[in-house]
Structure formats: structure tokens, C-alpha cells
Amino acid sequence: MNLKMQELEKACEAFMLSTPCADTAHDLSHVKRVVKVAKSLCAAEGGDEQVVIPAAWLHDCVAVAKNHPDRPIASRLAADKAVTFLQQNQYDESKLEAIHHAIVAHSFSAGVVPQTLEAKIVQDADRMDALGAIGVSRCMKVGGAIARNLYHVDDPFCQHREPDDSKYTLDHFFIKLLHIADNMHTDAAKEQAQARTAYMKAFLAQLRDEIS
């Protein structure tokens, strides 16, 4: 990686440190993990790191809580803010449109289909952080932040009802988390996502034993 990119990463980190996060599941540690995975996927897939790296650093630069009505537009607000920041740092103008799209498309709530390899990489990297041990931990953090119950007392695993993750944190596994691996875009992400999903299924099996 060239010196200019290293300097940009330092600027991005400082910028993110000054930016409020929506909750403790979307703090700087989350951003750094997404950047790390994005770099790995970018190298494996032959993506443009000049798009992927700044998009990964800045993807959550606007904080909107998961249960806030503006959540579906949060990634677009973040993309706009990221481009302004990059322009202020004299970043290559020819990369800004692709960076903007990658940030907009990373969000599950936005429902935007990634159109470029770089956008697919950033989305895969962000969603990877919702899987595995860290994914379980982050899901519990979000549930606590918005005061959801952990599970439905009579039907914790949604065997006889439709899951509702506005009320129960455990339901989020059945609505979203257990399906992420099937929707990864890049080959480099698919195997890792399956392994992390297997861990989450083991967690649910253990939980079932403990509360049954």
C-alpha cells in the first residue's frame, strides 16, 4: 500500500473517532474489522483498493439507530458525508462516485443492490461482521441498546410464529443473520461466511439446551 493511502487511512480513523456511532455495535472496532476484511476480499477478488478502503473506513460515518425511522437513508447520508470529507482531503475525484455507491449499497436497510465489484466487497465485509462470535455479540449489543427482550418466552425459536425482531433479539437470527451467508457476493467471502454461520447455529443449539 502506498504512503498516500496510509495517510488517508490515518485521516479516516481520526474522522471516525470524531463521529458519533449509532450504538456500541457500530463503534470504531467494527469499522476496523470491516476495513480488515474488505482489504482481504479486495486482494482476493482483484478490486480497486482506492475505492474499497476509503468506503470501508467511512461506511458508518453517519449514525442512525437501528430502530430510527431514518435508518433506510442512513447509508446515503453517510455516502454524502464521506464524499465531502474525501474532497476536503483532495482525494482522487475519479474515485468518488464509486466510493459513494459502495457506501450507499453496503446497508441492509437501504435495499440497494451493489453494481460494482468494489460495492460487493464492502457489503460483504460489513455483513461478515454480523456473523460468527462477533456477530452474536453485536446482535446482543444492539438488542440491549434498543431495549428488546432477548426471546419470546413461549416460542424462543419461532417454531409456531413469525419472527419479530422489533420485540425479540433472538428473532433477528431467523429474519436476517442466518441468511447472510447465502447472499454473499464474492467467492472469497462465501466460505468464511458459512463457517461463521455454523458457529451461530451451534450457539443457538447451546442456547436451546440451556433454556428448554
Q: What's the angle, vertex CA 65, arms to CA 157 and CA 10, rounded to 5?
A: 115
Angle at which helix 28-45 crosses helix 49-58, to 10 degrees, equals 160
Q: For the whole model, what pTM was predicted?
A: 0.91
Q: pLDDT tier at 68 (50, 70, 90 boundaries)?
A: low
Q: Which three cell numbers stand for residue 10?
A: 490515518
Task: Indicate if the pLDDT at residue 1 is higher than 70.
Answer: no
Which domains does the chain possess?
1-126 (1.10.3210.50), 130-212 (1.10.3210.50)
Phi, psi of 149 (to 5 degrees): -70, 155
Rounded to whole angstroms, how far apart are CA atoms 173 and 131? 10
Q: Which three cell numbers stand for residue 196?
A: 461463521
Q: How far apart are alpha carbons 170 and 158 in whole angstroms?
A: 9
* Burial class of 101 by CB neighbour count within 10 A (0 to 12, 13 to 18, 19+): buried
Phi, psi of 168 (to 5 degrees): -130, 125
Nearest to residue 86, comparing CAs of 123, 122, 22, 78?
A: 78
Query: What is the 8-class DSSP label of residue 129?
Result: T
Please give the span between the terminal C-alpha atoms of the chain, in angstroms, as a whole number: 52
Query: Furthest-apart CA pair in the chain: how many Å?
Result: 58
Q: pLDDT, tens digit, for every residue of 96-120? A: 999 999 999 998 777 889 999 999 9
Q: Rounded to an integer, what distance in angstroms lies between the CA atom of residue 207 and that of residue 146? A: 22
* Grid cell for residue 65: 439507530
Condensed to tens digits (0 to 9), the pLDDT of residues 2-32 reads: 668 899 999 999 999 988 776 777 889 999 9
